[in-house]
């Protein structure tokens, strides 16, 4: 099968479209014939091996997972002996390493039925970014009706979902993004939009019940100025930043851990974990019309490297999708 593989760390040039063996599903896995896969900051981090301290988990000299891509949509090709509820031919979406390929093997717990009202391209945009936003808004920020929520990085893949989820859970949403993305943020449900090039929200004197940071472009002290005395600050290390970093966003996380015991504010990190329950919740939100993926561009599988380069250099709005099979 054709797949986008990587055998060393570096810029997008290290990615190559190659012929490799088709994966074979284990008892608890699902083999999916991929129709579309979306690009995430996750792919950029693994492509560069950045931050360097994370290479103990990624792979010291090259990524352990050779095939890039993380989330996908497609048709079930084969199911393992322990899989129930899915059968060959089912339309699905989910999350697993190796999605920039004609076939991907995914754990059964990270695959679910595709939202019936979405195309394969739209569905592929949801799993990683949508799940991250869902965990951040619903679980960690614990947004409730009537609360105020600020999203720093509201025009990115996670941010566009977070704006919609904040609105769905009844918050008054403030989106921080560039001027060119302001109208998109408003269309997705933001009550207020701040152009980060013209105004620093950490110095505006306003405080929010929850701040979800998806960029990491301020100090912990600055972020805390924008949070109410008993509010929640949620930090995420998933953004694209200037490469070559030793610690990346981990320095901010270390400061959070040192500070958290001494303040009423809840200083929290955004964890990453998949579950069928979250996929089902995202599917329900999409089918009810409360969550709509925004796809800015699509690329064929042969141009997956260019898709990641676009995410890195042009700071893509919302989601970029790789079409594997028309």
Identify whether 164 is part of a domain: yes
Identify whether 182 is part of a domain: yes
3-state secondary structure the chain: CEEEEECCCCCHHHEEEEECCCCCCCCCEEEEEEEEEEECHHHHHHHHCCCHHHHHHHCCCCCCCCECCCEEEEEEEEECCCCCCCCCCCEEEEECCCCCECEEEEEHHHEEECCCCCCHHHHHCCHHHHHHHHHHHHHHCCCCCCCEEEEECCCCHHHHHHHHHHHHCCCEEEEEECHHHHHHHHHHCCCEEEECCCCCHHHCCCCEEEEEECCCCCCHHHHHHCEEEEEEEEECCCCCCCCCCCCCCHHHHHHHHHHHHHCCCEEEECCCCCCHHHHHHHHHHHHCCCCCCCEEEEEEHHHHHHHHHHHHHHCCCCEEEEECCC
Same structural domain for residues 261 and 142? yes
| Position 241 confidence tier, pLDDT thresholds 50, 70, 90 | very low
Same structural domain for residues 84 and 149? no
What's the rounded mean pLDDT across residues 132-159? 97
The residue segments making up the domain with residue 113 are: 2-126+293-323
What's the rounded mean pLDDT across residues 183-201? 97
Same structural domain for residues 113 and 136? no
pLDDT over 80 at 129, yes or no: yes
Identify whether 265 is part of a domain: yes
pTM for the model: 0.92
Identify whether 288 is part of a domain: no
The domain spanning residue 89 has which CATH number?
3.90.180.10
What's the rounded mean pLDDT across residues 207-212? 98
Same structural domain for residues 171 and 196? yes
Same structural domain for residues 235 and 139? yes
């Amino acid at each position: 099968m054709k797949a986008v593989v990587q055998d060393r760390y570096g810029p997008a040039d290290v990615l190559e479209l190659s012929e490799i063996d088709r994966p074979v599903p284990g008892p608890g896995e699902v083999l999916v014939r991929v129709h579309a896969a979306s690009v995430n900051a996750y792919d950029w981090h693994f492509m560069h091996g950045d931050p360097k301290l994370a290479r103990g988990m990624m792979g010291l000299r090259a990524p352990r997972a050779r095939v890039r891509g993380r989330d996908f949509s497609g048709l079930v090709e084969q199911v393992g002996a322990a899989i129930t509820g899915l059968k060959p031919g089912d339309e699905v979406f989910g999350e697993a390493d190796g999605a920039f390929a004609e076939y991907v093997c995914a754990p059964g717990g990270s695959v679910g039925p595709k939202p019936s009202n979405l195309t394969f391209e739209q569905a592929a945009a949801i799993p990683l970014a949508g799940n991250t936003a869902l965990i951040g808004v619903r679980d960690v920020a614990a947004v409730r009706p009537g609360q105020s929520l600020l999203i720093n990085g509201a025009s990115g893949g996670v941010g566009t979902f977070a704006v919609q989820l904040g609105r769905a859970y009844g918050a008054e949403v403030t989106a921080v993004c560039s001027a060119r993305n302001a109208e998109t943020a408003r269309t997705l449900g933001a009550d207020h939009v701040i152009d980060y090039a013209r105004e620093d929200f950490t110095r505006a004197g306003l405080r929010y019940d929850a701040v979800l940071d998806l960029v990491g472009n301020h100090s912990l002290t600055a972020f805390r100025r924008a949070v109410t005395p008993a509010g929640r600050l949620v930090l995420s290390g998933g953004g694209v930043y200037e490469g070559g970093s030793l610690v990346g966003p981990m320095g901010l996380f270390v400061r959070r851990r040192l500070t958290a015991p001494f303040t009423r504010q809840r200083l929290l990190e955004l964890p990453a974990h998949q579950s069928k329950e979250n996929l089902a919740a995202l599917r329900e939100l999409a089918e009810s019309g409360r969550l709509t993926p925004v796809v800015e561009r699509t690329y064929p599988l042969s141009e997956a490297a260019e898709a990641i380069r676009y995410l890195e250099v042009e700071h893509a709005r919302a989601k970029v999708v790789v079409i594997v099979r028309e």
